[in-house]
Amino acid sequence: MPEGPSIVILKEAAQQFAGETILEAESADKKIDIEVLRGRKITAFKSWGKHFLICLPDFTLRIHLMLFGSYLINSRKTSLARLSLRFRNGEINFYACSLARIDEPLDKIYDWSEDVMNDAFNYQNAIEKLKQHPQMMVCDALLNQHIFSGSGNIIKNEVLFRVGVRPDSLIGKIPIKKLDELVAETVRYSHQFYEWRKAAVLKEHFLIYGKPICPRDGTQTISELLGKSKRRTFYCPACQKLYN
């Protein structure tokens, strides 16, 4: 599943079509009225966490790439796109994604201070939200999109390793100083993820994700399906502390 930093990269790549008029639109999703897209001008592209937002004069098209979604700019696959938009200067095609129309103002739908890639991210609000869930596993907290919008499974694994906390630790048992460190590292690593992803070197910087041996102490790592979402989780039983 593409994480928040990857959606920011998509937003940047799509900027070439900002202000352009949609000349042709096609969709495999029957819930989307293609006719209302043709001839409409793109006013902006935005992102919130894992949501890519195509803003039009009176509504917004939300795209979520889900687990296996992808996109191509000025190119297309042989398979039918979930959404295809053609402009005077090119095209953008989305595959295996979910689409939704948003008619309300985005500021009423989205809290931008929850987005780890947004300059408006509010560190103290994240801490307060964490405190409200003392029995939540920290691995679940890092996937909670209303605490850390844009954080995904890779970010979860890498952040917990970097701060030395086991993923099955309970939020209420983690010292406040460590929670502060966790929040700061989530934002910091997300921006590093963005830089490495743009440079096509992201995997080279994985410390724990998919690794059989801990790079800090040489201990064999543990791989489990943890938390409510049962997402694949890697951790070192020696240098990541369990708070329970």
- Report residue 15 CA to chain centroid gap: 19
pLDDT at 32: 82
Cβ–Cβ < 8 Å for 65, 71: yes
Q: Where are the alpha helices (DSSP H) in 39-119?
A: 106-109
Non-local CB neighbours of 24 within 8 Å, separated by 6+ positions: 38, 84, 85, 86
pTM for this structure?
Answer: 0.94
pLDDT in tens, 226-242: 999 899 999 999 999 99
pLDDT in tens, 169-204: 999 999 999 999 999 999 999 999 999 999 999 999
Instruction: Return the bridge partners of 85, or none.
Output: 25, 92
